[in-house]
């Protein structure tokens, strides 16, 4: 699976951005996608995940506590796209955001549960 993230940019605190992740290749093997982020000098951390199995019309979602109520992950299986709507952005949300494909059978909220990482898109929130 190949992943391409887009939608990052510079926004003021309190503003919004919508990230998009386009999947191509063996997408029929995917059971979900997630967003992670990495700030300078910090480890890559989980942000949100969504199941994408076509066998389950109702998606299951997971969120990091730090973004609950502000970020929303969604999917469009027909287009092989996953989105991250980010509202009420804070300076601490500044990071490079990556999308990644979930490995079946692994935890949904840890780095080791994912492979096929996209190239990342920079999000900068000014105060």
Mean pLDDT by 10 residues, the chain (127 residues): 95 98 83 94 96 72 97 91 97 97 93 92 97
pLDDT at 58: 75
**CB neighbours of residue 27 within 10 Å:** 17
pLDDT at 30: 75
Residue 10 to residue 104: CA distance in whole angstroms: 34
pLDDT at 77: 83
pLDDT at 2: 93
Hey, what are 100's tokens? 């990644």
pLDDT at 126: 97
């Amino acid at each position: 699976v190949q992943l391409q993230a887009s939608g990052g940019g510079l926004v003021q605190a309190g503003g919004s951005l919508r990230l998009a992740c386009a999947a191509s290749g063996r997408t029929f093997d995917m059971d979900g996608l997630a967003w992670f982020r990495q700030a300078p000098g910090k480890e890559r951390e989980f942000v949100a995940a969504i199941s994408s199995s076509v066998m389950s019309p109702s998606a299951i979602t997971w969120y990091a506590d730090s973004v609950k109520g502000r970020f929303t992950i969604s999917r469009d299986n027909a287009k092989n796209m996953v989105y991250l709507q980010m509202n009420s952005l804070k300076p601490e949300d500044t990071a490079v955001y990556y999308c990644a494909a979930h490995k079946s059978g692994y935890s949904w909220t840890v780095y080791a549960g994912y492979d096929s990482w996209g190239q990342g898109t920079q999000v900068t929130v000014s105060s």
